[in-house]
Chain A
Amino acid sequence: MSVARFWRKIPQRYNLLGTRCETCGKHFFPPRSFCPECRRTGRIVDYKFKGTGTIVTYTVIHAASEQFEHLTPYVLAIVQLDEGPRMTAQIVSKADEIKIGMRVKRAFRRIAADGESGVIHYGTKFIPLE
């Protein structure tokens, strides 16, 4: 991923900055600048997610693409944030401790890197709350 492509999403990747529609109260992550429910009557404002959520489903990845090979086996999950939106992220935990419904909170972590001398991509992973 090019430097600019990574850099422009830093607020979302580092701090889970999304948006919220003040008209209907719906939260969006990644952020939307237009509420699909309220259309023209929607009022979109920035919203920083609390970072707590629940595991909806998960897998343990054993065969990864090159960038993630050194992490295998790693846990990947769909997390439902408490405000509603869902996201795909890694869980920092032992594989046999993961279960559906588990409470998690966000953590700032190294995600990948562009080769040995390229940009390091940081972002959000989740750790178990219990």
Chain B
Amino acid sequence: MRDVAIIGVGCTTFGEKWGSSFQDLFVEAGALALEDAQLSGEKIDAMYVGNMSAGRFIEQEHIGALIADYAGLATRHIPSTRVEAACASGGLAFRQAIIAVASGMEDIVVAAGVEKMTDVEPGASTDTLTGAADREWEGFMGATFPGLYAMIATDYMHRYPLTREQLALVAVKNHYNGARNPIAQFQQEITVDTVLKSTMVAEPLRLFDCSPITDGAAAVIVAPLERAREFTDTPIKVLASAQASDTITLHDRRDISTLDATIAARERAFKIARVTHKDIDLVEVHDCFTIAEICAIEDLGFCKKGGAGKFTADGETALGGKIPVNTSGGLKACGHPVGATGIKQVFEVVQQLRGEAGKRQIDGATIGMTHNVGGTGGTVAVHIMGVL
């Protein structure tokens, strides 16, 4: 297998983008990535697009062809493939692009993610997102996505020392980082009080424990490592790509508060990259809810099970901490256009590794990691990237 490098990245701003269509978002992110790689469109050999539910959000399927067409590549007839794994669609699209290049099948491949969520009413988007869980045996019974993660939180807080304030500190930290990220949906700092006084969504989770509804797109371009210098002076090497699955229902998991798919993907990724958690300088984790970040930093091996509340309260996951988590602001503050999130995580890590992250820059970062979850843990993608 060939080594793979990232040669360009691009991302739209995230938010409620009433003026932008699905196509507008994708084209903007793709153009930014091409410009970053100093590449013209005709060099692209293939595209993979992460998208959860254009069918429900904008009543549009056949996303692969749509995107190739609007990117101006219809007459070149390149293969263009949609990848779907709920909120992990972006992470899986990135992995498919890596596999295509590593295998030798393609050279220059775009991995993108896009979601246009605000063209439907909030009730409809809640219902669409419920499709990431088991419709027959979770959704039908009255489960919502925040409700499922709330049941993780109830179980976790029953078994481990995690206070309501510590949980809120996850959101406070992510908003602090988001306030330093020009693409973030929320660029305001908040306090513990903001979280604790926000509307109850599913006990114990309140509105500020939840990631928002977001429009956005992101794109990265990968190429064989040996060709990377043709396009950029700062290629980022893909050190590992790993993916794992688990039961789609939360209730069938071995342990409610542990994402076994995260553990499996992390173990595979560390083995492939020949690194341990101590080598990682920063990580973008899937904080769709504050409790998800607590579980993620444990299941990725950055602290022991049950210790993430204190670890967070001690500032170890903040910008200057032992392992900065979600420097982009995470899903909570940067926003969560579901299909785009996994690619945006890579975008953030690449910016950090190139030293281009501005006010949220981690000095001397050389190895970064992303962790993208589908549903409540039925799919997990973990990627590790490093400077050359």
Chain A positions near chain B (C-beta within 8 angstroms): 1, 9, 30, 56-69, 71, 73-74, 76-78, 86-90, 95, 100, 111-112, 121, 123
Q: How many of chain B's residues touch chain A, expressed as a range?
A: 20 to 34
B140:A61 contact, CB within 8 angstroms: no
B126:A123 contact, CB within 8 angstroms: no
CB distance from B326 to the nearest CB of A (A): 24
Pair count A-B, CB < 8 A: 102
A123:B140 contact, CB within 8 angstroms: yes
B127:A65 contact, CB within 8 angstroms: yes
- Residue of A58, A66, A67, A123 near B151 (CB, 8 A) is A58
Complex interface: chain B residues within 8 A of A57 (CB): 151-152, 154-155, 158, 256
Q: 20 extra interchain contacts, Cβ-Cβ under 8 A, other than A59-B203, A76-B202, A111-B140?
A: A56-B155, A57-B158, A58-B154, A59-B147, A59-B150, A59-B151, A59-B154, A60-B203, A61-B142, A61-B202, A64-B144, A66-B127, A68-B144, A74-B142, A76-B143, A76-B151, A86-B252, A89-B141, A100-B155, A123-B140
| A79 closest partner in B (C-beta) | B251
Complex interface: chain B residues within 8 A of A71 (CB): 142
How many angstroms from the CA of A64 to the CA of B143 in the assembled complex?
8
- The stretch from B81-89, B130-138, B267-275 touching chain A is B130-138
| B200 closest partner in A (C-beta) | A62
A100:B142 contact, CB within 8 angstroms: no
- Residue of B138, B152, B202 near A88 (CB, 8 A) is B138
How many angstroms from the CA of A90 to the CA of B140 in the assembled complex?
10
Complex interface: chain A residues within 8 A of B143 (CB): 76, 88
Tell me which of B130, B136, B250 has the highest count of chain A C-beta atoms within 10 A of its own C-beta: B136
What are 12 A-to-B residue pairs whose CB atoms are below 8 Å?
A30-B136, A59-B150, A59-B151, A59-B204, A59-B205, A61-B147, A61-B202, A63-B202, A65-B123, A76-B142, A88-B137, A112-B140
Q: Is B163 an interface residue (CB 8 A)?
A: no
B251:A78 contact, CB within 8 angstroms: yes
How many angstroms from the CA of A111 to the CA of B158 in the assembled complex?
28
Tell me which of A58, A62, A123 has the highest count of chain B C-beta atoms within 10 A of its own C-beta: A62
7 tightest A-B contacts by CB? A59-B150, A57-B155, A86-B251, A60-B203, A65-B127, A66-B123, A78-B251
